[in-house]
Chains A and B, each alone.
Chain A
Amino acid sequence: MEKRHDYVLWFEECNLESIPIVGGKNASLGELLSAEIPVPPGFALTTKAYKRFLEQGGIKKEIFKILEDIKPNDMDSGEIASKKIRALIENTPIDENLQDYMGEFYRQLSKKCHVPAVPVAVRSSATAEDLPGASFAGQQDTFLWIRGIDDVFTHVKKCWSSLFAARAIYYRTKMGFPHDKVEISVGVQKMANAWVAGVMFTLNPASGDRASVAIDANWGFGESVVSGECTPDNFIVNKISNEIIKKTISHKTFLYTRNPEKHCIIKQDVPAERQDTQCVVDLDVIELAKIGKKIETHYGKAMDIEWAIDKDTPGKAKIMILQSRPETVWSDKKVTPVMSKRSSALEHICAGLVAGRKVSN
């Protein structure tokens, strides 16, 4: 008996244990939800759904046949194979049962969000990230502002096919990693209609101070901040007292938003009157920092988080967490003691006095 659980799962039904079937990204969204972090609602298509698609559509054999033709040292042969396979995947219809599951979940998601045919982000969520030499993170695609079930199907297939991007194929061939071992899950998530967005670190990336939360923010979608294209507003919040201890309001010239007709993302100028204004109000900055701290506590380590303030979610959940992953720069640094060990406070005091305080730089 096949169960819908095998193919589609609400994020609420995912957790870190489900990484093998829903991938890292979807699993972490489930984790965040269980920690009561506001995450845009959505669902995951499991790796089983992907495998079923390959088998039911009858294209699995064909794909592997194409892959066999690749010569390890010939980039061009990889390119050609990639194009063929991707076309094959994207042109094969998803079988009806899978279509039903996804259709039903998409309908329910729209209902949940009070938006007919709710715009969604369709994201790849890889399962193989922890395999040796298989760091595919960022190689698979994400598609924003997808609306209507047919478009969802199209882009789910695009995610699947991204597993056969030329670079991915070449990489696996080179590393001797069997192609049939890679699997992919896809997340379908309510698109955050970001008024403001950005990133947050649960430490100060400039100083490594673990008692601080650093928040970067710009108008519109977070892409401008994530890509480092703009100079965002910056806030340093004291994690313990929840006070903003430093605030830098930058000159913000452009933002990413949605083209209302084509539903694609466009870059546009920030209206003059908003260029030098603080894009997140203090209360929301503090709320964000609190959420950051909660995520950190849940994972037990410093985190790197993408967030947005949503325009159209009903109720209180206007701050949304889009992604979170462990912070790596400071967390991986070698730990050195703050002051060398001494047998008593008096010895510290004496050493401090002898060193004195520098007055000039």
Chain B
Amino acid sequence: MADKSFPNPHEIEAIPGTEGWERMYPYHYFFSTKDKEREAYENNTFWFNDALHYPEPLYPFDIIWDEAWFLGLSQFNTRIFMIPPVYGVDHRIINGNVYISPVPITDPEEVQKRIPLFMERAGYYYENWDRLHEQWEKKMTGIISDIENLEVKQLPAMEDISVVKNGIGTSSGYELLKTYDKLIDRGIRCWQYHFEFLNLGYASYVTFVDFCTKAFPDIPLQKITQMVAGIDVILYKPDDELRKLAKLAVEFDLGSHIGDDTKNVEDVIAALQSSENGKKWITAWEKAKYPWFNISTGTGWYHQDISWNDNLNIPMSSIRIYIKKIIGGHNIDRPMDQIKEERKRLVHEYRGFLKTDEDRQTFDQLHGTAELVFPYVENHMFYVEHWFHSVFWNKMREIAAIMTDHKFLNEPEDIWMMSRSEIKEALWDLVTAWATGTKGYGPLHWPEEIAWRKGVYQKFKEHPPIPAVGTPPDVIAEPFTIVLWGVTNESMTAWTKLRKIGDPDKVNEIEGFAGSPGVVEGIARVCRSVEDIGQLKENEILVAPTTSPSWAPVFQKIKGVVTDVGGIMCHAAIVCREYGMPAVVGTGQATTIIKSGMKIKLNGDTGRIYIER
């Protein structure tokens, strides 16, 4: 590994003007030399920037999900399923960016001791997968309805008389604290459930991948994914709803009412009210909203990833794309039969090339388990990152509104600059002042502090994080790190290379992962968020930080995709493979280097992108 040296984590300097940034994040997230043991551990460990989840620095509030998975993933590995060779995944923050590292178990005896425990515990989950999974869905919908029903109440000048007559014995101030606690508690709990199955799912998938790459050294990773990936995946449902609505609009001949993107969604709904069919369509539209319009327009990891419900113009615009396609005589359905057929064929033919009965038996065992676990691997995201988070962010906004009323914040969106524990403290400040009938201290502190934090955050954003710090290991056993981040020798070489790129205007070639095969040439369109997709013209190549199910209709318009973030399993790669459209994903910085209007050639076989200058 000598040729891939990364800087010492303790020597990374603060960006000028951000000194003191550490107070925005939990204290235990920092690299420290205060203790020799911790210093040595941090130096001898390999920490890589989790750009997959966090293409941007973390807001002090949004770090809640990082804390949640720091705990969730680690506890399942270390204390619950007793994954033999690995403990949890450790976290640090440098200049607002998260660095993570799997913690290996180095004592061979300890590994041996954990094996029978793992067999019993993980074995129980694999054996009872369907039943436990059904139970999981109930827990998740329960927790979601819990926060959907959570009321954030204003603080009244005087409590209602019912408080007296019913002998309630508590105040709205106390209720506000309780509501906030409950909201945070449900968030953390939801993330506990998030990891209940996930690592077992990945472990099983990694083993199947291992077998396939040994038996078929040339096998592209995408083929392995195609052999197990779910077909009726929940994440596709929101988009399916839009297709249905588009079909209904064509059937009812409502195209003129729906109009084009210059027409606001409220005006569309008003126009549709004038006819019977219009009303029927509105009913269908309203019905589709729950729960499917809780789909996030981003990955769901950041508060700014709003959902369709938050901006109904986004799903409406997608419906228009579909209507246009239908009128143009195109079939807008996902080619389900074809996908199923192809998947069956892949399994059958690869299996057919195995040489011994023994191999075929192993293949069947591993494929069977990978297939069993995969729907969860794909579906959990809708429940947690999309549905739960979409509701959660808006509940937080309601709390922010109260804090704004009491001048703790200049505007509700400022709340994201505070950490969850700071908010709790500020709420105490707020409710005690309310209870006492005095002025809180918050208004003197928070607006000024938040203004400073916003400046720091801006500077974080302007300085791209280094990909990794510390010392790379020889072996990685943590299934997450392997599947999701694809930490391999090659990826580390690619990261080191990325660091060497100086002026983005001089780069003619970018490298990423071959996400979906094929070669295509065309005009690039950089869309930083789903709100930019209106600028996309027919047959352009989409260049985006990442895509999510909200972007689905876009794939009808374009002829190729490039993303900054993501591996072979990312949304863009999966959808492109379905549409037979080339994709290069995980390029690191395509959106920085490529500008809209540039002519690019994208090779989905090799993972390279050429820029014509």
Residues of chain A at the chain B interface (Cβ within 8 Å): 204, 207-212, 236, 238-241, 243-247, 335, 337-339, 341-342, 344-350, 352-361
- Interface membership of B560, Cβ < 8 A: no
Instruction: Say yes or no: A353 contacts B83, CB within 8 Å.
Output: yes
Complex: chain A residue closest to B481, CB-CB: A357
Q: Is the CB of B206 within 8 A of A352?
A: yes
B217: interface (CB < 8 Å): yes
The segment from B116-124, B147-155, B244-252, B502-510 found at the interface with A is B116-124
Q: Is the CB of A240 within 8 A of B207?
A: no
Q: Is the CB of B220 within 8 A of A339?
A: no
**Interface pair B365/A345, CB less than 8 Å apart:** yes
Of all chain B residues, which has the CB nearest A247?
B605
User: Once bound together, how far apart are the Cα atoms of A356 and B111, in whole Å?
Assistant: 12
A212 to B350, CA, bound (A): 10
Q: Nearest-CB distance from B511 to chain A (Å)?
A: 15
A342 and B362 form a contact (CB under 8 A): yes
Known: A245-B220, A356-B476. A350 touches B118 (CB 8 A): yes
The verdict on B588 contacting chain A, using a C-beta distance below 8 Å, is: no
Evaluate contact between B369 and A354: CB separation under 8 angstroms. Answer: no
- A354 contacts B211, CB within 8 Å? no
CB distance A349 to B203 under 8 Å? yes
B358 CB within 8 Å of chain A:
yes
Question: B218 near A236 (CB under 8 angstroms)?
Answer: yes
Select the stretch in B394-402, B484-492, B531-539 that faces chain A. B484-492
Closest to A361 in B: B489
Interface residues of B in 514-558 (CB under 8 A from A): 517
Q: Given the complex of chains A and B, what is the CA–CA distance between A339 and B364 in angstroms?
A: 13
The 5 nearest A-B residue pairs measured at CB = A356-B477, A207-B217, A345-B369, A356-B475, A210-B353
The answer to whether A346 and B350 have CB atoms under 8 Å apart is no
Q: Is the CB of A349 within 8 A of B369?
A: yes
- The CA of A360 and the CA of B476, in the complex, are separated in Å by 10
Kindly provide the distance from the CB of A348 to the nearest chain B CB, expressed in whole angstroms.
5
Q: Does B479 make an interface contact (CB < 8 A)? A: yes
Number of A-B contacts (CB under 8 A): 145
Asked if B85 CB lies within 8 Å of chain A CBs, one says: yes
Pairs A–B under 8 Å by Cβ, sample size 11:
A207-B217, A208-B217, A240-B349, A335-B356, A341-B362, A346-B369, A350-B84, A354-B477, A359-B1, A359-B474, A359-B475
Cα–Cα distance between A209 and B218 once the two chains are bound (Å): 6
A205 to chain B, nearest CB (A): 11
Residues of B within 8 A of A208 (CB): 217
Nearest Cβ distance between residue A325 and chain B, in whole angstroms?
20
**Bound form: Cα–Cα A241–B223 in Å:** 9
Give Cα A213 to B210, complex, Å.
22
Q: Is the CB of B223 within 8 A of A240?
A: yes
Chain B: interface size category: 35 or more
**Is B354 a contact partner of A338 (Cβ separation < 8 A)?**
yes
B358 engages A352 (CB within 8 Å): no
Q: Which of B346, B368, B476 contacts A345 (CB 8 A)?
A: B368
Taking CB atoms and an 8 Å cut-off, the chain B residues in 211-264 that contact chain A are: 211, 214-220, 223
Q: Are A240 and B345 in contact (CB under 8 A)?
A: yes
Q: Which residues of A lie under 8 Å from residue B365 when comparing CB positions? A: 342, 344-345, 348
Q: Which residues of B contact A243 (CB under 8 A)?
A: 220, 517, 605
Complex Cα gap A112–B356 (Å) = 46
Q: CA of A87 to CA of B211 in the docked complex: distance in angstroms? A: 61
- In Å, the complex CA distance between A247 and B123 comes to 43
With contacts A240-B349, A243-B517, A354-B115 known, is A359 near B473, CB below 8 A?
Answer: yes
CA of A236 to CA of B119 in the docked complex: distance in angstroms? 40
- Name the A residues within 8 Å of B193 (CB-CB): none
Residue contact A209 to B122, C-beta cutoff 8 Å: no
Task: Identify which of A241, A335, A350, A359 contacts B346 (C-beta below 8 A).
Answer: A241
Please report the C-alpha to C-alpha distance between residue A140 and residue B354 in the assembled complex, in whole angstroms: 37
Kindly state the separation between the CA atoms of A219 and B125 in the bound complex, as whole angstroms.
Answer: 58
The distance from the CB of B449 to the nearest CB of chain A, in whole angstroms, is 42
Q: Does B562 contact A (CB under 8 A)?
A: no
User: With A244-B605, A245-B605, A345-B366 given, is the CB distance from A357 to B122 under 8 Å?
Assistant: no
| Alpha-carbon distance A244/B518, docked complex (angstroms) | 9
